[in-house]
Amino acid sequence: MINIAYYPGCSLHAMAHEYDISTRLVCERLGLQLQELSDWNCCGATAAHSLDHQLSIGLSSLNLALVDAMQLHRVTTPCAGCFSRLKTAAAELKKDNQAAKIEKMTGMALTGARLVEVAHLLQVMVEDIGIDVIKEQVVKPLTGLKLAAYYGCLITRPRTIVQFDDPEQPSSMDWLLQSLGAETVNWSHKAECCGGGFAASQTDIVVDLGGQVLEAARQAGANAIVVACPMCQANLDTRQKAIEVDRGTAYNLPIIYFTQLLGLALGFSAQQLGLNRLLTKPFALLSALNLA
Amino acid sequence: MAADFYKPMRLNEVDSSFAQQIKAACDTDVELCLECGKCTGGCSNAHIFDITPRKIVQLVKLGAKDTLMSMDSLWTCVSCHLCLDRCPSGINIPRIMDYMREQAYHQGVRARRPNVELFHELMLESIKKTGKVAETPLMIKFNLHSGQYFKDADLGRRMFFKGKLSPFSPRIKDTTLVRRLFARTPVHREG
């Protein structure tokens, strides 16, 4: 049993609830004990780092301090945005002068918080649990699924801070999905941006960038896109209709969290994993392959 | 059109110590720039930027602070960090973008994309009050404040039936520390 602190982030308690529930189910099955931080605060997301660097680092430092207070030294989050903010704060706190500034701002000692390590959930899956171990637990292979593993920006970038996988040609999610029996396509846009935090404030940018991602996945012959970030999911799923109108192409590509597919392969039902909550319905695809 | 072909950039204000200021604030040295253009080549949004990443680095070297604070790119950069990863010299352009936006905001330079700034402010207001972000109330507030009353109404209906919308605002039990952080910054709307 591996113990790790769990930071779900705001999205997983709201729109991306299905990412939270599928994460909890698969982690429990795989022997990863997630301990949710008590009374965690928002990481500040794009808003904080866009307008105030110190505020952004401060907000995530508070969460790192909560990890330390639980006497854990490692925290994971399924959200690429939260991951990036936590990881950046952890890197900043390594600098003595920056740590001193944040300690002054928060009025608390961050000695323990400075030692906390941050890992994205995908990283924990492949590095802590291991693909071989996951493969042994598969009861329903995802045979017939042709998937585009989409990493987006912040799971692997910037490489100096993240230090996980390859930022140009990431492959960890591909290996994971292949170990579940699915096929993954070789495609151009696995690490391109979906438009990130601009879903509401500049929808046209999301329609533009997200449209390129959907089109590339279609051309590569994928029948679904797999994500490890609630923003990637929301942008590609909720804006898919607008993208179809913009590009004059029907995509009908379900945007599925990797934890949901992992859960299916481990024997959980589509309902348990919240697959019914996706806007672009995956059921025609999954039932044709006897997967749901 | 020949007349559109060459547009020199006119720099009104320059500050010779600016590159040093960036080095101190952003922990990155623009003098290392090789001018190779890999940042702009990979940039997700270079096609809509008024000033592209390689030029931004050059403008830092020239000390064109005012030009940088008022550029449109500040508000269309998606912070994907591709420029930083591709830079052979490791120049932290995303950090420079954040710093310039922060400077522009604090000095009252009017944002070229007011809706982006508004969205950030409303989100920070939510964090300041509750410690968290409530997505649905944030979207509704954004539509009201930006005067786009029916933006995404149809999408909202579809999301409602998927159980993705919630009117409730979660809040943390103890907001003391979060409030302490906000006490030293004016980056949220009052009201």
Q: Are residues B124 and B97 located together in one domain of the fold?
A: no
List chain B residues with CB under 8 Å of A158.
81, 84-85, 92, 94
Give domain status of residue B3, yes or no.
Answer: no
Give the pLDDT confidence of A265-284 residue by residue, as tens digits. Answer: 999 999 999 999 999 999 99
Question: Which DSSP letter does residue A130 get?
Answer: I
Domains of chain A (ranges; CATH) run 2-120 (1.20.1050.140), 137-288 (3.40.50.11810)
Contact A228, A78 (CB under 8 A): yes
Statement to judge: residues B51 and B120 lie in one domain: no
Phi, psi of B131, rounded to the nearest 5 degrees = 85, -10
Cβ contacts of A59 on chain B, cutoff 8 Å: 127, 178, 181
The conformation of residue A170, written as its DSSP 8-state character, comes to: -
Question: CA-CA distance, A73 to B75, in Å (whole number)?
Answer: 36
Q: Do B57 and B39 contact (CB within 8 A), yes or no?
A: yes
Give residue A134's Cα distance to chain centre.
18
Domain assignment present for residue B36? The answer is: yes
Whether B92 and B128 share a structural domain: no
pLDDT of B182 over the 90 cut? yes
pLDDT digits (tens, 9 = 90+) for A84-117: 999 999 999 999 999 999 999 999 999 999 999 9
CB atoms closer than 10 angstroms to residue A255: 28
**Which of A62, A153, A277 is opposite residue B80, by nearest beta carbon?**
A153
Q: What is the DSSP string of B82-137?
A: HHHHH-TT---HHHHHHHHHHHHHHTTPPPSSHHHHHHHHHHHHHHHHHSS--HHH
Q: Report the C-alpha gap between B154 and B177 in whole angstroms.
A: 39
Task: Say yes or no: B125 and B91 in one domain.
Answer: no
pTM value is 0.96
Picking from B78, B106, B134, the residue at the C-terminal end of a domain is: B106
Q: Please tell me which residue of chain B has the smallest CA distance to A46.
A: B120
Q: Looking at the structure, tell me whether residues B101 and B123 fall in a common domain.
A: no
| Domain end residue (candidates: B79, B106, B133) | B106
**DSSP state, A37?**
P
pLDDT tens profile B95-146: 999 999 999 999 999 999 999 999 999 999 999 999 999 889 999 999 999 9
Q: Domain containing B22 — which CATH number?
A: 1.10.1060.10
d(CA B77, CA A254): 27
Least CA distance to B74: which residue of chain A? Answer: A50
Q: Which of A183-192, B1-10, B119-128 has the lowest mean pLDDT?
A: B1-10
Where does a domain end: B106, B137, B155?
A: B106
Q: How many domains does chain B have?
A: 2
Q: Whole domain around residue B84: which residue ranges? A: 13-106
The sign of the CA dihedral B4, B8, B13, B18 is positive
Residue B58, C-beta contacts closer than 8 angstroms, at least 6 positions apart: B33, B35
* Cβ(A11)–Cβ(A231) below 8 Å: yes
Instruction: Answer yes or no: is B159 within a domain.
Output: yes
The answer on B42 and B20 residing in a single domain is yes
> Are B38 and B87 in a shared domain?
yes
Question: For residues B75 and B100, what is the distance between their CA atoms, to the nearest angstrom?
Answer: 11
Q: What is the ipTM of this complex?
A: 0.95
DSSP 8-state assignment for residue A192? S
CB neighbours of B145 closer than 8 A, spacing ≥ 6?
B118, B122
Does B92 share its domain with B24?
Answer: yes
Are B97 and B171 contained in the same domain? Answer: no
Please, which pLDDT band fits residue B191 given cuts at 50, 70 and 90? Answer: very low
| In a shared domain, residues B125 and B56 | no
Q: Do B101 and B49 have their domain in common?
A: yes
B7 assigned to some structural domain: no
Q: Which helix (H) or strand (E) holds A257?
A: strand A255-257
Residue B173 lies in a domain: yes
- Spatial contact of B127 and A48, defined as CB atoms under 8 Å apart: yes
- Least CA distance to A54: which residue of chain B? B181
What is the C-alpha to C-alpha distance for residues B131 and A242, in angstroms, rounded to an integer? 32
Residue B6 lies inside a defined structural domain of this protein: no
Q: Give chain B's largest Cα–Cα span.
A: 63
Cβ–Cβ gap A10/B105 under 8 Å? no
The mean pLDDT of A24-50, rounded to a whole number, is 97
Interchain contact, B78 vs A196, CB within 8 Å: yes
pLDDT grade, residue B190 (50/70/90)?
A: low
- Do B84 and B126 lie in one domain? The reply is no
